Amino acid sequence: MFALKTISLFLVTAVAEIIGCYLPYLWLTQGKSICLLIPAGFSLAVFAWLLSLHPTAAGRVYAAYGGVYIFVAILWLWAVDGIRPTAWDLLGASVALTGMAIIMFAPKNA
C-alpha cells in the first residue's frame, strides 16, 4: 500500500509542477494572458505542499520524485504537445522510474 500511495502522490505532484511551469511558458512564448500566472503560482504552491506529504527524508523524496517527473513529462509531451515519444524517450523514462523505485522502496538501514 505504501508503494501505491507514494507513486500516486508523485504522479499528482508532477502534474502540479508541470502545470505550474507550463502556464508561464504559454505566457512567455505564445503571448497568452499574464493572468495565467495566478493558477501557475497556485499550482506550484500545491506542488511544494504535495512533496511535503512523504514520510521520509526530503532529499530522498526529491531525488526519487525526479524519476516520476521525467515519466510524466514524457506523457505531457505526447498528450499536450502532441509529440509521440521515441523509443529512447520511453527507455529513459523507464530508467528514471527504476531509479525512483530503488531510492524509495529499497531497504533502508538508517
Give 14-48 pLDDT, tens digit per residue: 999 999 999 999 999 999 999 999 999 999 999 99
Give the separation between CA 28 and CA 30, rounded to whole angstroms: 6
Q: Which three cell numbers stand for residue 11?
A: 504522479
pTM (global) more than 0.85: yes
Nearest to 108 by CA among 64, 51, 76, 60: 60
Considering only residues 109 and 8, tell me which one the structure prediction assigns the higher pLDDT.
8
* 110: confidence class by pLDDT, cuts 50, 70, 90: low
